[in-house]
Amino acid sequence: MTLAKPSIWRAGTLVPLLIFAVFILVPVWGQLTDHTFYVAYFARILIYAIAVVALNLALGFGGLVSLGHALFMGLGAYSVALPAFYGIDNGWVHLGFCLASCALAGLITGAISLRTSGIGFIMITLAFAQMGYFLFVSLKQYGGDDGTSIANTSQFFGLNLGGVYEVYVVSLVLLILATWWSARLRVSPFGMVLRGARQNARRVRAVGFPANHYLLVAYVLSAMLCGVAGMLLANLNAFASPSTLSWIISGDLVVMLVLGGLGTVFGPVLGALAFLGLEEILKAFTDHWLAVFGLVIVFIGLLGKAGIAGFLDSFSQRKSTSARTAQTKGAKA
């Protein structure tokens, strides 16, 4: 990948940049035509893309197959819902709750989960997310199974995140920042250690880096960013329910990431757009879209290619394709 010239004219960079340009135009178009539905729909794509950027940090860079990231999305959502339930609409309080709870949950579950690897790690992250799910289901005073609607959405200096356009713009800015940050992080020494740990943790340790500490930091950072996505989602829907913590959401995030391109910078955006776009298209044809969608996921998994980002890159760098697929295959679970 380092062989490629860092030019924006490569398909792998150009297409995502064009997509970002479209994202910027969506609210303008929405204002002109008064189509709030599509603005909300694209806001959902942006928010999921932020969550997938977060997952990419743990799974794409660090190779930690987490099937429990819905836990952090749910914690983020309830960081808005619970204070709002008691009439607190200060966005900074929401954000503080969100970051603190996700960091704490990420630290505890990450430290325990990292004691195992491979299949064990997958199952344990899944089980922890399920534990959070059942916790919120059993909290009957906050709606339990049915969830709770949020009357007081987050307020930042007079900016109310409850508005569709407000949450859209904030999500877009955050997504751009998160994508830029993950691009920087990917090539930073920290990112290098993570990616090294994904390929061969033992060797990274032998070089003198405590691989598990790095992975734990990545996991906690990932949890916090994912929580922010959950917070935005709760504001967009003005609603939080345990279904945000459902493990199907965790699975969806993993599918989005693999579909977009594991460990790539633009993969999360491409994956979230493709996933939610395909979902919307299939829904237009049949009520039983999940049956078709499930099979699509099976084929994506069976093909095991480098995702959409890899497909776009293949236009400009045919030669290093084999190297990249080898790298993707080397992803240590």
Partner 1 sequence: MTTLVLSQLLNGVQYGVLLFLLAAGLTLVFGIMSFVNLTHGSLYMLGAYFGATAYNHTSSFLLALAAAIGGCIVVGVVLERLAVSRLYSRDHLDHVLVTFGLLLFFNEMAQIIWGTQPYFLPVPAWLDSTVNLFGITYPSYRFAIIVAGLLAAVGSYWLIHKTRLGMLIRAGSVNPQMIGALGINIKFLNALLFAVGAALAGLAGVMAGPILSVQSGMGEPVLITTLVVIVIGGIGSVSGAFYAALVVGIVDTLGRAFLPMLLREVMARDLANAAGPAIASMLIYVLMAVVLAIRPQGLFAGAKK
| Site for partner 1, rule CB under 8 A | 59, 65, 67, 112-113, 115-116, 118-120, 122-124, 126-128, 130-131, 134-135, 137-141, 247-248, 251, 254-255, 258, 262, 288, 290-291, 293-302, 304, 329, 331-333
Instruction: Please report how close the Cβ of residue 264 comes to partner 1 at its closest, in angstroms.
Output: 15
- State the Cα–Cα distance between residues 284 and 328, nearest whole angstrom: 34
CB 98 within 8 A of CB 79: yes
Whole-angstrom CA distances from 80 to 60, 127, 156, 211 are 28, 24, 13, 34
What sign results for the dihedral spanned by CA atoms 58, 320, 183, 73? negative
Non-local CB neighbours of 83 within 8 Å, separated by 6+ positions: 89, 90, 93, 94, 97, 152
Instruction: Please report how close the Cβ of residue 168 comes to partner 1 at its closest, in angstroms.
Output: 29
Of 110 and 162, nearer to partner 1 (C-beta) is 110
Of 24 and 298, nearer to partner 1 (C-beta) is 298
CB 322 within 8 A of CB 25: no
Instruction: Please report how close the Cβ of residue 128 comes to partner 1 at its closest, in angstroms.
Output: 7
DSSP count for the chain of H helices, then E strands: 13, 4
Of 26 and 204, nearer to partner 1 (C-beta) is 204
How many residues are listed for the chain in this entry?
333
Going by C-alpha positions, the residue among 175, 177, 141, 167 that lies closest to residue 234 is 167
Instruction: Please report how close the Cβ of residue 105 comes to partner 1 at its closest, in angstroms.
Output: 12
Of 138 and 188, nearer to partner 1 (C-beta) is 138
Determine whether 290 is exposed, middle or buried from the number of CB atoms within 10 Å of its CB (0-12, 13-18, 19+).
middle
Instruction: Please report how close the Cβ of residue 301 comes to partner 1 at its closest, in angstroms.
Output: 3
Instruction: Please report how close the Cβ of residue 155 comes to partner 1 at its closest, in angstroms.
Output: 29
Instruction: Please report how close the Cβ of residue 125 comes to partner 1 at its closest, in angstroms.
Output: 10
Of 113 and 171, nearer to partner 1 (C-beta) is 113
Instruction: Please report how close the Cβ of residue 161 comes to partner 1 at its closest, in angstroms.
Output: 28
Going by C-alpha positions, the residue among 100, 74, 114, 40 that lies closest to residue 248 is 74
Residue showing tokens 């150009």: 14
Determine whether 41 is exposed, middle or buried from the number of CB atoms within 10 Å of its CB (0-12, 13-18, 19+).
middle
Q: Left if phi > 0, otherwise alpha if psi is -120 to 50, otherwise beta: which for 209?
A: beta
Instruction: Please report how close the Cβ of residue 136 comes to partner 1 at its closest, in angstroms.
Output: 9
- State the Cα–Cα distance between residues 101 and 95, nearest whole angstrom: 10
- State the Cα–Cα distance between residues 84 and 93, nearest whole angstrom: 10
